[in-house]
Every structure is written in structure tokens, then in C-alpha cells.
């Protein structure tokens, strides 16, 4: 059986971004890394597609640039959610965000120092993600987070 090739990102007409749901598991607890947006909200490290990189590779790159973390990214998305992207000119548009789980193995200071990455428990991370987000955008993000929690719990139950 042939192994499927990783999808390579290209510019698309529909705006798409990629996020990394970064976590670390230590002594029976799981923590999630969130970063601050320019508006002060907490979110997953995410960004635009990069020519020549797979979606999973973009997720790992964003985790490194915004969160200062490196690790093993799962090659398949855990889900997707809708995000409202605001421009500096006041315009806004909806963007689909594909989310990938990344198990953090190493951390340092992020390249984007204004992001102020911070670790939260699962409960606290979910509360921070929900803060000041309209319901339309929150539901999908919560589905992604819950799906990530389930996959992580399954993975660590078998270790």
C-alpha cells in the first residue's frame, strides 16, 4: 500500500489559515499553549499558508514563530473552525482555519515576542479561547479543542 503524499499548500481563492493546537503532557496533566492576538484575545498559534509547505509543516512553523515551541505535529488536521480576520485598514473577512495537534518537545522564546505565549490547563484554555468571541466563531473552535482533547487522551492512555 502506498503512503499518501502530504498536501502542499498553494494560494487559494478561499482564505485558509493553519493553526497548531500545542500541548505538553507531564505527570498526568495536559497543558495547552495559547498566544495573544493584537486585539488581546487568546488563540492557537496560526498563520497563512506558505508556498511549498504542507499544512502540517505550516502548523509547526507557526508554533515555532508565535509560541517558541517545537515538537511532533500530527499529519492530519484535528478539525477546522471559522475565524474573523481583521485588517489594519478596518476591513474584515471570515477565514477557515485547519487545526493540527502538536506535541511540544522543546520550547524557547518565540520569534514574535509580542505574542506572549502562555500555558493553560485544558479548562482554563477553553475559557480563554471563549473570552470575547462571538458564538459564530466559538462553536467551531470548541469542537476542535474537544476533538484534540479526545485524541490526546487516547494517545496517552496507551503509553
Contact of 49 with 9, CB cutoff 8 Å: yes
**Each residue's pLDDT tens digit, 50-109:** 999 999 999 999 999 999 999 999 999 999 999 887 766 767 888 999 999 999 999 988
CATH number, domain 16-157: 3.90.79.10
Q: Which helix (H) or strand (E) holds 135?
A: helix 135-157
Is 20:63 a contact under the CB 8 Å cutoff?
A: yes
Q: What is the pLDDT of residues 4-37, one digit of tens each?
A: 445 544 444 468 999 999 999 877 789 999 999 8
List the domain boundaries for the chain: 16-157
Between β-strands 118-121 and 29-36, what pairing exists: parallel, antiparallel or unpaired?
A: antiparallel
Q: Distance (Å, rounded) from C-alpha 33 to C-alpha 89?
A: 29
pTM as predicted: 0.86
Give dist(CA 84, CA 78) in Å, integer. 20
Amino acid at each position: 500500500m502506498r503512503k499518501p503524499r502530504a498536501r502542499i499548500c498553494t494560494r487559494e481563492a478561499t482564505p485558509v489559515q493553519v493553526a497548531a493546537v500545542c500541548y505538553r503532557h507531564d505527570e498526568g496533566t495536559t497543558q495547552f499553549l495559547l498566544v495573544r492576538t493584537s486585539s488581546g484575545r487568546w488563540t492557537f498559534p496560526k498563520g497563512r499558508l506558505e508556498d511549498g509547505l504542507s499544512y502540517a509543516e505550516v502548523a509547526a512553523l507557526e508554533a515555532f514563530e508565535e509560541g517558541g515551541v517545537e515538537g511532533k505535529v500530527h499529519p492530519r488536521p484535528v478539525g477546522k473552525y471559522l475565524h474573523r480576520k481583521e485588517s489594519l485598514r478596518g476591513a474584515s473577512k471570515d477565514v477557515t482555519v485547519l487545526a493540527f495537534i502538536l506535541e511540544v518537545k522543546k520550547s524557547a522564546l518565540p520569534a514574535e515576542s509580542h505574542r506572549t505565549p502562555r500555558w493553560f490547563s485544558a479548562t482554563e484554555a477553553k475559557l480563554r479561547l471563549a473570552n470575547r468571541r462571538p458564538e459564530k466563531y466559538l462553536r467551531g473552535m470548541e469542537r476542535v479543542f474537544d476533538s484534540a482533547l479526545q485524541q490526546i487522551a487516547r494517545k496517552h492512555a496507551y503509553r
